Amino acid sequence: MAKANSTSLFNKLGQQAKLAGARLADKHINLAVTGLSKSGKTAFITSLMNQLLEANENAQLPFFSSHREGRIIGVKRSAQMDVTTSRFAYDDAIEGLSAHPPRWPQSTTGISQVRLLIRYKKKRGIAKWLSEDGCLTLDITDYPGEWLLDLPLLEMDFATWCEHCAKELRESQRATLSTEVRAQIDSLDLNGSGDESQLQKIAESYAAYLKQSQLAGFQLLQPGRFLLPGELAGAPVLHFFPVSQSQLNMQNVDLTKLKKGSNIALLVERFEQYKQHVIRPFYQQHFKRFDRQIILVDCLGALNRGYHSYHDLQKALNWLMGSFAYGSSNILKRLFKPKIDKLIFAASKADHITPDQQSNLVKLLDSMLRDARKQLLFDGVVTESTLIAALKASKHGTTQVNGESVAVVQGLTEDGRSLTLFPGEVPIQCPQPSFWQKQKFEFPHFAAPQLKAGDALPHIRMDQVIDFMLADKLQ
């Protein structure tokens, strides 16, 4: 047994040494694919892997410079470093897209990883004289978007979190959704002896409220594990909820002098345990070593759902971006304290609009992220905004209306019907709330594209994203 443990430790240390060597040589990228629920993270990772694995002479990657120059020798999957984490279900996704009818990849329900090795011909520098070929290691981690918004809780105490949540519970659009759980919380005797059964019941009601809010189009929802608990379903660490300051005052509760064993003491304790045993390990294992990032934003979905959804998405993006380490990188920083030095914002599902509206979609994305980008520019981070369709599910065309040519999108609905339409204009900034009272946005949903054997997945601008993220490391 001791010999097996020492062998395991030796292998782990060997892997870490190889990774450190790759980072020191600047031939390793830890890519953060970030996005909230329904932003298209799983589809993006599937497409990213497919474009690289199928990067042959038939690939449609004109803006991926290393491929255009014929320097990509080959790409293969490799064993991931963390063997305790699930492997990204790429094969399942490809199988679903190859089926008749094709199926969209399953949404993320837990953490998964994948490692790609990209072998290429070197382009310049002394390294080319030492070896004609190079190898770049690309690590990608997938995780539920719902869990992302928990990261800022690490900087909060229970009182601060309660103050944040209390405002949301009573916002006009959420007040009706939260009526039942607010009544249950208000009736709780905070100083009474801890009743775990009652706390569990109220926590489950709070989770139900969060799920109803998500269905109504809200994005800034946390704790994220209440929406997607995974292996923590039913665990006491999830049995807590916010309490308003007015209730604390009415029951003479001082959060600095809690009655031991009381309901409020249990709530505070479980909030802290959630931070230490759920959020912090997740952050330390998967977020502290990212050095490149793509943030996927479903602007069109937010427009479809209304002003409240768009505004909430904007708040959520600003909220989560504070959880990542940004700043210019160099070799020593990459080895000992990496920071994200290149970041691309991508409006997803660009195949849902006509080509003439694509520039508007990028401007809309920029307007949403204006405040967040100011700090990034100050920190020296290279940023870019674009739009993508990781899996292009429609075709662009034109039709005649009253003798004029009108751009349209064509595709299949999820129930198999053919659909041809002009989805409408994309605003360059968020319309006023009154706009949604007069009319609505209705950007379509399409069925998954059919993948033919030997072909790469159809896409929009994935080659530009790949070039932005990888090209400078493939020299």
410-434 tens-digit pLDDT: 999 988 899 998 898 999 999 999 8
Is 431 domain-assigned? no
**In a shared domain, residues 219 and 129:** no
Is 412 domain-assigned? no
Confidence of residue 253 (pLDDT cuts 50, 70, 90): very high
Judged by DSSP in three states, 28 sits in strand
At residue 166, does pLDDT exceed 90?
no
Summarize the confidence of residues 356-365 as an average pLDDT.
Answer: 96
Q: pTM for the complete prediction?
A: 0.87
Confidence of residue 131 (pLDDT cuts 50, 70, 90): low
- State residue 336's pLDDT score: 59
- State residue 251's pLDDT score: 96
- State residue 326's pLDDT score: 77
**Sheet containing strand 418-421, strands side by side:** 394-401, 404-412, 418-421
**In a shared domain, residues 327 and 467:** yes
- State residue 149's pLDDT score: 87
* CATH number reported for the structural domain that contains residue 318 in this entry: 3.40.50.300
Is 429 domain-assigned? no
Sign of CA dihedral 225, 228, 229, 230: negative
Task: Count the domains in the chain.
Answer: 2
Q: State percent of the chain over pLDDT 70.
A: 90
Is 19 domain-assigned? no
Pairing label, strands 394-401, 404-412? antiparallel
Summarize the confidence of residues 218-223 as an average pLDDT.
Answer: 91
At residue 111, does pLDDT exceed 90?
no
Summarize the confidence of residues 165-175 as an average pLDDT.
Answer: 87
- State residue 51's pLDDT score: 95
At residue 239, does pLDDT exceed 90?
yes
**In a shared domain, residues 57 and 127:** yes
Q: State percent of the chain over pLDDT 90.
A: 60
Domain end, chosen from 247, 263, 281, is at 281
Is 444 domain-assigned? no
- State residue 143's pLDDT score: 84
Summarize the confidence of residues 209-222 as an average pLDDT.
Answer: 92
Is 15 domain-assigned? no
**In a shared domain, residues 41 and 161:** no
**In a shared domain, residues 169 and 121:** no
- State residue 266's pLDDT score: 97
Preceding omega of 101 cis (within 30 degrees of 0): yes
Which of 388 and 340 is assigned the larger pLDDT?
A: 388
pLDDT 10s digits, 396-416: 998 887 888 889 999 999 888
**In a shared domain, residues 29 and 50:** yes
**In a shared domain, residues 164 and 129:** no
**In a shared domain, residues 320 and 297:** yes
Question: In this structure, what token pair is assigned to residue 61?
Answer: 């990657």
Judged by DSSP in three states, 54 sits in coil
**In a shared domain, residues 175 and 130:** no
Confidence of residue 128 (pLDDT cuts 50, 70, 90): low
**In a shared domain, residues 232 and 300:** no
Q: Which has the closest alpha carbon to 163: 221, 239, 244?
A: 244
- State residue 439's pLDDT score: 83
At residue 329, does pLDDT exceed 90?
no
At residue 10, does pLDDT exceed 80?
no
Summarize the confidence of residues 303-312 as an average pLDDT.
Answer: 92
Is 435 domain-assigned? no
Judged by DSSP in three states, 316 sits in helix
pLDDT 10s digits, 14-69: 555 555 555 555 689 999 898 888 899 999 999 999 999 988 766 789 999 999 99
Give the Cα separation of 70 and 402 in Å (integer). Answer: 48
- State residue 193's pLDDT score: 96
Residue 458 near residue 351, CB atoms below 8 Å: no
Element (H, E) at 428: none
Summarize the confidence of residues 231-244 as an average pLDDT.
Answer: 95
Q: Which has the closest alpha carbon to 117: 87, 78, 86, 70?
A: 78
Domain end, chosen from 235, 260, 281, is at 281
Spatial neighbors of 457 by CB under 8 A, at least 6 apart, are: 46, 47, 50, 51, 97, 390, 391, 392, 449, 451
**Range(s) of the domain holding residue 133:** 25-148+284-394+451-473
Mean pLDDT of the chain: 88
**In a shared domain, residues 310 and 187:** no
At residue 151, does pLDDT exceed 80?
yes
Give the Cα separation of 423 and 409 in Å (integer). Answer: 8
Give the Cα separation of 174 and 220 in Å (integer). Answer: 12
Looking at residue 39, the DSSP 8-state letter turns out to be S
At residue 91, does pLDDT exceed 90?
yes
Residue 447 near residue 102, CB atoms below 8 Å: yes
Give the Cα separation of 384 and 388 in Å (integer). Answer: 13
pLDDT 10s digits, 269-298: 999 999 999 999 988 877 777 889 899 999
* E strands in 3-132: 28-35, 72-78, 86-87, 112-121
Question: In this structure, what token pair is assigned to residue 2?
Answer: 């001791």
**In a shared domain, residues 273 and 174:** yes
- Note the helical H segments in 25-169: 41-53, 65-68, 90-98, 126-130, 145-148, 158-169
Is 189 domain-assigned? yes
Confidence of residue 238 (pLDDT cuts 50, 70, 90): very high
Domain end, chosen from 252, 281, 310, is at 281
Residue 424 near residue 358, CB atoms below 8 Å: no
